[in-house]
Structure 1
């Protein structure tokens, strides 16, 4: 009585193992290589785009900072006279990541700025908008 029960149980286990082995499927080496290749191509395309977005954001931060500095300097000129430095302009709030420098006088001034660690310099003078370049004799030049 016990022997046929053991025999049936072992036979059922054997059939289950065989069925599981037949159903098990994996990826072939070619399929894995194709997936790795696709991921590599996507990374090669996405990483430069991401880095360019970072540079654009840094440039925008510098332009915004020097434009704010220009507004503060003009407000200071109107109320108290030309400030000796940007720190003397009460309406100016410095940034930790952007270095800004004021040159010139009340009649012709220029403000240059650079994001820390970046090679690009932007400038703005009393007559114009922010552009990539430096200050020469109180004028922003490309």
Structure 2
């Protein structure tokens, strides 16, 4: 597990302080390889590449997590309207938000900050921090 001291200021702002990266700025937005998306802080499995889709929103989007336990859901009223925040189910790192405008089969869009993720490419073995 990464400590606060091991994180960049941007990683701290997003993962520990519930921040949001600028749209279309994340390194993993255009990532197309086959593999696994893990939590930056604790390396827990969160999403597989088969569930990623282009939502056009500016953040990596997925229609389902790897398991029910992978994600924790919290009510968020920070913008004077209700949203559902998503956090890592293991370490509580802020990931982003989930919306009900995604594709089948779930109809959900897990809109995730690239900075909160690590991508593990199953073909090359390359590890990319968002």
- TM-score normalised by L of structure 2: 0.24
- TM-score normalised by L of structure 1: 0.23
Structure with the higher strand share, 1 or 2: 2
